[in-house]
Amino acid sequence: MILLDGKKTSADIKEEIAAEVTKIIKQNKRPPHLAAVLVGEDGASMTYVKNKVRACEKVGFESTLIRLKDSTTEEELLQQVHALNADDSIDGFIVQLPLPSQINEEKILLAVDPKKDVDGFHPTNFGRMALEMDSFISATPFGIMQLIERYEIETSGKNVLVVGRSNIVGRPMSILLSQKKPFANATVTLAHSRTKNLKELSLQSDIIVVALGIPNFLKADMVSEGTVVIDVGITRVDDPSSAKGYKLVGDVDYDEVAPKSSHITPVPGGVGPMTIAMLLQNTLLAYQRYQLS
């Protein structure tokens, strides 16, 4: 069994990005610049955004954190988005979700210039991804595709089961893995809450991607010997024995499934750490494609 080590792989990617920034600086150009907008005081959101800003600093990017009060109106946030769209010194930006209830999230996401949409949430980027044009792929699917490529997992003609049809993970994974290109070209089935014969399907699969958010959902009796298992779930479960009072649990019953797998992502340390690395990668891409000034 080979561990798909997201911690190590994401560190490799960040090193490659840092080397790229060093080259850029040597050419007397400004480094890539990511901005993040955080509305309100949600604890988890604050942690996520701070981690993103810190990651920018580590690879040599400029970063700007824009904090707006919880009572910010939709109109005020739209103004902020328009200002970031127009600011040539910023290559890409994200609006941290969730937003307070007075703000329509879809309206905000649609206002982001697709050329700066490094989260890859705008329908133009989703469509460009699906139609195999240059785009920004959302961090989680992009990170999984990187793990598959860097561990040289054979996917062509393989039967892949993606469990979960969310717009930010399951749906794009099902599209990316079935496209006609290297580290894809798989026969993909997308399963979800209405799927009736999940166990039958999972037993037939060479590769399973689980993105449901249900702790320990995938059990050993659902997996054939030699399967590649990618676990996108990450749920906090009470754990009085840990200092934090909780532990992070994936959608895969790791202890049961790992011995049967050919490759498997742990939780934590699998898909999770890849996401910030891919946000940085998208920011570098935005810089290279559109700004480079």
Q: With CA atoms as reference, report the closest residue to 1 among 204, 287, 258, 201.
A: 258
The residue count for the chain: 293
Q: For residue 16, give both structure tokens.
A: 């490659």
Between strands 33-39 and 92-95, the pairing is parallel
Which DSSP helix (H) or strand (E) runs through 108?
helix 105-111
Applying CB under 8 A, does 175 fall inside the site for a second copy?
yes
Judged by beta carbon, residue 45 or residue 185, the one nearer a second copy is 185
CB of 79 to a second copy, least distance (A): 23
Separation CA 93–CA 272 (nearest Å): 20
| Gyration radius of the chain over CA positions | 20
Question: Looking at 29, 192, 247, 260, which residue binds a second copy (CB under 8 A)?
Answer: 192
Which DSSP helix (H) or strand (E) runs through 268?
none
Question: Looking at 45, 124, 216, 262, which residue binds a second copy (CB under 8 A)?
Answer: 124
Question: Looking at 191, 230, 249, 286, which residue binds a second copy (CB under 8 A)?
Answer: 191
Applying CB under 8 A, does 189 fall inside the site for a second copy?
yes
Cα four-point dihedral sign 97, 99, 103, 104 = positive
Question: Looking at 25, 133, 237, 292, which residue binds a second copy (CB under 8 A)?
Answer: 133
Judged by beta carbon, residue 64 or residue 166, the one nearer a second copy is 166
Task: Please give the DSSP secondary-structure letter assigned to residue 209.
Answer: E
CB of 161 to a second copy, least distance (A): 9
Q: Which residues, 73 to 112, sit near a second copy by CB under 8 A?
A: 106
Stretch of residues binding a second copy (CB under 8 A), selected from 3-11, 194-202, 250-258, 275-283 = 194-202
- Give me the residues that bind a second copy (CB under 8 A), please: 106, 122-133, 135, 156-157, 159, 165, 167, 171, 174-175, 178-180, 185-197, 201
